[in-house]
Structure 1
Amino acid sequence: MSQSAPITPEDEVVDLCRDLLRIDTSNPGDGTGPGEAEAAAYVVGKLREVGLEPDVYESDPGRQTVVVRIAGADPTRPGLCVHGHLDVVPADAADWQVDPFAGVERDGCLWGRGAVDMKDMVAMILACARDLARTGTVPPRDLLFVFFADEEAGGVKGSHFMIEHHRAVFDGIGEAISEVGGYSVTVEDREGTEKRAYLLQTAEKGIAWLRLNAHGRAGHGSVPNPDNAIVHLAGAIERIAAHKWPREYIASVRELLDGLSGMTGVGWSDEDLDELLSHLGGAAGFVRGTLSDTANVTMLQAGYKQNVIPQHAYANVDCRFLPDHEDHLMATIRDLAGDQVEVEVLHRDIALDSPFGGDLVDAMKAALLAEDPDSTILPYCLSGGTDNKALSLLGIVGYGFAPLRLPKDLDFAPMFHGIDERVPLESLRFGARVLARLLRAC
């Protein structure tokens, strides 16, 4: 009787991702939603299936984080945390071509909320952890696999809960990898030759989620009122929206632009980036978001009846700041808001900036080049944020590395928090191979 071939991470990553997509872990950020318990139970079951014994930590009912450690050959080396988050942002099925929680396979892709952010990477992590356990492989150093809750609401019930209440989980860990890096973009040089670059995330902007609270005098809608809270708020919003934030090119951004310029033959300057960034396709939006601090109004609330002028009006603003810019951003927002609008901080988190060098970066590059030898790896700064922020408070240096070789015509980056989120099956298999290489070598 012939023996069946051993199961590899790429053999099961698609099925794992499909199963995860079919579990609704929507996180509206207001304490409602189904939570991560069902997905956490699925992860626990898959880890136990291969002999691992994970721990589960619950911050609130249903808000669960799963952790398992695989001991490495050299316990004196700082370990590596490989982490993902189980929650996703909500999705309105009416906007989608498919049911966002059905895990539909279509046109060579898996469709569903979280296919990009970030159940694709969670499936890769799970597949690789299972492979190490199933084969009895001892990695070079300790590997800590963590499946966090609550990343989409800033990690208060997930990564921050873990470092505040279960810090010992991360003892001996020195570095981390997670989402939003390692994916490819296809660019053309001036002669029309296509080249592929992988964007390895080395930095990320800080977060300041703010609420503008405008106060005024309530009154009848038929009576002139110079102290209208809605008008005060509208003025603050207009000033914030019109503000031109000064540009600053941090090291990772400058290195990305220089590398892209070398690949395409297109130069760039402070005044002219449009032609160069056009070669990045949908990823250009992420890069534009890292050229300066930003502030975007995302929510509005005011009034309760047509003929009543309310005494209060509110707006939420999503601010992202470059490293060392938080104080300047907050002072600028308060100045723009004006005397009649109070600025309240709902959530804040730090900016990160890690070196594009060292053993881990070299290992990530090598793992990618082993699967795609003609490609280029460039650093970049993420305009959003990840759970690496929380881990950095423990001195853990984090990177974004969710490796995906993507087809040229897939507008990938705009699908983060977008509609019709999907990931190619072959990209998942590629990512599983790359991540498995990395974890066996680093």
Structure 2
Amino acid sequence: MAERVQAEQHAVELCSALIRFDTTNRGNGDSEGERDAAEYVAKVLADAGIDAKIIESAPGRANVIARVPGEDPSLPALLVQGHLDVVPADAADWSVPPFSGEIRDGFLWGRGATDMKDFCAMVLAVVAEFSRTGRGPRRDLVLAFVADEEDKGDFGAHWLVAEHPGLFEGCATAISESGGYSYHVPAADGSIVRLYPVGTAERGTAHLKLTARGRAGHGSRPNDENAVSRLAAAVDRLASHRWPVHLTPTVRAFLERTGKALGVPVDLSSESTVDATVAALGAAGSLVLPTVRNSTAPTMLDAGYKVNVIPTVATAQIDTRVLPGTEDALLAEIDRLLGPGVEREFVAHQAPVQAPVDSPWFDAMAAALRGEDADAVVVPYCMGGGTDAKAFTKLGIACYGFAPLSLPPGFPYRAMAHGVDERVPVDGLHFGTRVLRRFLGDC
């Protein structure tokens, strides 16, 4: 019992310490603090008797890799991966300094508290406990604390996969961010159900740059080859297009299992009934709403240099998210919607991720959660955005979102990542540490 409490408190201390490293990633190679945070992580592992390597992809862009031996070396290894970088935070907007790691009102505050220094800290605390108690994991654990997830991963996971794939040899499965947290939702009978969505899929990323070309001219004269007009019409067609429903195995399982848990009838026979089912799930439906369809969201526009000059070229960028098995049809429809005079190219292109929904790994995650919360309803779900799983899945590793936390009712967890006043409940960290101890020790 004393060791358990020590590990839980250690996780809080580690998370606070990690937050105090300003590892802001501004994108396009502009980052700071990753090396300092990596050295701290490596020291924590060294103190636990674990040899860790710091591998830089560029000066200061540091990644930490370590292997924790398991009791049965014949078993496939588990990759446990998290990122040490964070998005920018403007201190003027925050209630507390964003890199203070302050504990206030039962919460640990700071940039990275939920994305994702909490997970990194809990993993380190569990590994340190294994060292103190002499009780190791059942299988080898490969730990990866990486740089650059908050940009493109070119200095972190994607670079490691391309340049050092041997570091992950023998890994069958991986766990990381965005899953395993409690979500309180009302059931049809008025009771409250604690859902724990575990990420088993991610939509792919197909960020597009659109380029419209036309004939330059004076703004006062008619011009039926206006690049800005062509671009605006194409962007409007993409923004207003209603993409068809496509139910992946993960999304279908989420709807069926969540509906059963909440006592909500589920009808997936048509687009209209799927939409009605999602709406009937209420708060739980918001988890799945972004993933029943593909999406094309305009986010950037650029054209012209003077109000009375019609430019030759106008460009836009479209945040396109792709469900597994749909990319060819999606791109063909985009090409049709763009119309003449508008071309597209990829700015970023990463395939969707899909891990098995029904597997011993998922069952072990569910068992670990129910071991700490007997009423937990564990369901698979598809992430609307993306993580470093997109890199590691290239190695044939089945990637899951499993960073367990217990959250109070009404806590705006999804608003925390990249948001103002990011924070995590201290009790939630304690819970997550206990769950990870069960999972990492027994899986």
**C-alpha contact (below 8 Å) 1:215/1:340 kept by paired residues:** yes
1:325 aligns with 326
User: Deviation at 1:431?
Assistant: 0.4
User: Deviation at 1:433?
Assistant: 0.9
* Distance in 2 between residues matched to 1:94 and 1:302, nearest whole Å: 32
User: Deviation at 1:324?
Assistant: 1.2
Residue 270 (structure 1) aligned to one of 267, 270, 274: 274
The TM-score, its normalising length taken from structure 1, stands at: 0.93
User: Deviation at 1:7?
Assistant: 6.7
* Distance in 2 between residues matched to 1:199 and 1:353, nearest whole Å: 15
* Superposed counterparts of 1:213-292, under 5 Å: 213-268=211-266, 269-280=273-284, 284-292=285-293
**C-alpha contact (below 8 Å) 2:82/2:119 kept by paired residues:** yes
User: Deviation at 1:78?
Assistant: 0.7
* Distance in 2 between residues matched to 1:289 and 1:366, nearest whole Å: 28
Question: Do the aligned partners of residues 21 and 322 (structure 1) sit closer, same or farther apart at CA in structure 2, a change above 3 Å counting?
Answer: same
**C-alpha contact (below 8 Å) 1:266/1:275 kept by paired residues:** no
What amino acid maps onto 2:339 in structure 1?
A: G
* Distance in 2 between residues matched to 1:183 and 1:200, nearest whole Å: 8
**C-alpha contact (below 8 Å) 2:25/2:150 kept by paired residues:** yes
1:78 maps to 2:82: no
* Distance in 2 between residues matched to 1:42 and 1:373, nearest whole Å: 36
**C-alpha contact (below 8 Å) 1:83/1:125 kept by paired residues:** no
**C-alpha contact (below 8 Å) 2:21/2:33 kept by paired residues:** no
Residue 117 (structure 2) aligned to one of 116, 119, 128: 119
**C-alpha contact (below 8 Å) 1:214/1:314 kept by paired residues:** yes
Residue 194 (structure 1) aligned to one of 192, 208, 214: 192
What amino acid maps onto 2:255 in structure 1?
A: L
* Distance in 2 between residues matched to 1:92 and 1:300, nearest whole Å: 25
Q: Secondary structure at the match of 1:153?
A: coil
1:98 aligns with 96
Q: Secondary structure at the match of 1:174?
A: strand
Q: Secondary structure at the match of 1:247?
A: coil
Question: Do the aligned partners of residues 325 and 35 (structure 1) sit closer, same or farther apart at CA in structure 2, a change above 3 Å counting?
Answer: farther
Deviations 1:226-272 (A, max 9, x none): 33332222111101001110001222212211222222222233241
Q: Secondary structure at the match of 1:116?
A: coil
1:341 aligns with 342
2:372 aligns with 371
Question: Do the aligned partners of residues 100 and 275 (structure 1) sit closer, same or farther apart at CA in structure 2, a change above 3 Å counting?
Answer: same
* Distance in 2 between residues matched to 1:206 and 1:27, nearest whole Å: 22
Q: Secondary structure at the match of 1:129?
A: helix
Q: Secondary structure at the match of 1:413?
A: helix
What amino acid maps onto 1:61 in structure 2?
A: P
1:387 aligns with 388
* Superposed counterparts of 1:350-429, under 5 Å: 350-429=351-430
Q: Secondary structure at the match of 2:30?
A: coil
2:34 aligns with 36
Unaligned 5+ runs, structure 2: 267-272
* Superposed counterparts of 1:49-68, under 5 Å: 49-68=47-66
User: Deviation at 1:220?
Assistant: 4.0
Q: Secondary structure at the match of 1:279?
A: helix
User: Deviation at 1:67?
Assistant: 0.5
* Distance in 1 between residues matched to 2:95 and 2:4, nearest whole Å: 37
1:311 aligns with 312
* Distance in 2 between residues matched to 1:333 and 1:99, nearest whole Å: 44
1:11 aligns with 9
* Distance in 1 between residues matched to 2:90 and 2:340, nearest whole Å: 38
* Distance in 1 between residues matched to 2:181 and 2:134, nearest whole Å: 29
Deviations 1:59-81 (A, max 9, x none): 12221111010111211111000
**C-alpha contact (below 8 Å) 2:202/2:385 kept by paired residues:** yes
User: Deviation at 1:143?
Assistant: 0.5
* Distance in 1 between residues matched to 2:281 and 2:416, nearest whole Å: 18
**C-alpha contact (below 8 Å) 1:286/1:413 kept by paired residues:** no
* Distance in 1 between residues matched to 2:23 and 2:308, nearest whole Å: 40
2:269 aligns with none
Residue 109 (structure 1) aligned to one of 104, 107, 131: 107
* Distance in 2 between residues matched to 1:38 and 1:213, nearest whole Å: 41
Deviations 1:192-216 (A, max 9, x none): 2112111111111111111112223
Question: Do the aligned partners of residues 243 and 439 (structure 1) sit closer, same or farther apart at CA in structure 2, a change above 3 Å counting?
Answer: same
2:270 aligns with none
Question: Do the aligned partners of residues 28 and 315 (structure 1) sit closer, same or farther apart at CA in structure 2, a change above 3 Å counting?
Answer: farther
The TM-score, its normalising length taken from structure 2, stands at: 0.93
Deviations 1:118-165 (A, max 9, x none): 111111122122222333332111100101111122322211111111
1:437 aligns with 438
**C-alpha contact (below 8 Å) 1:9/1:436 kept by paired residues:** no
User: Deviation at 1:224?
Assistant: 4.0
User: Deviation at 1:222?
Assistant: 4.1
* Distance in 1 between residues matched to 2:98 and 2:338, nearest whole Å: 38
Question: Do the aligned partners of residues 217 and 107 (structure 1) sit closer, same or farther apart at CA in structure 2, a change above 3 Å counting?
Answer: farther
Deviations 1:383-412 (A, max 9, x none): 111222221211111111000111111021
**C-alpha contact (below 8 Å) 1:260/1:276 kept by paired residues:** no
User: Deviation at 1:29?
Assistant: 2.5
User: Deviation at 1:379?
Assistant: 1.0
Question: Do the aligned partners of residues 264 and 344 (structure 1) sit closer, same or farther apart at CA in structure 2, a change above 3 Å counting?
Answer: same
Question: Which is worse superposed, 210-219 or 255-264?
Answer: 210-219
* Distance in 2 between residues matched to 1:138 and 1:333, nearest whole Å: 51
* Superposed counterparts of 1:130-149, under 5 Å: 130-149=128-147
Deviations 1:258-308 (A, max 9, x none): 22222222223324135433132xxx4441111011111122223334444
Q: Secondary structure at the match of 2:305?
A: coil
Q: Secondary structure at the match of 1:363?
A: helix
Question: Do the aligned partners of residues 7 and 277 (structure 1) sit closer, same or farther apart at CA in structure 2, a change above 3 Å counting?
Answer: closer
Q: Secondary structure at the match of 1:37?
A: helix
What amino acid maps onto 2:315 in structure 1?
A: Y
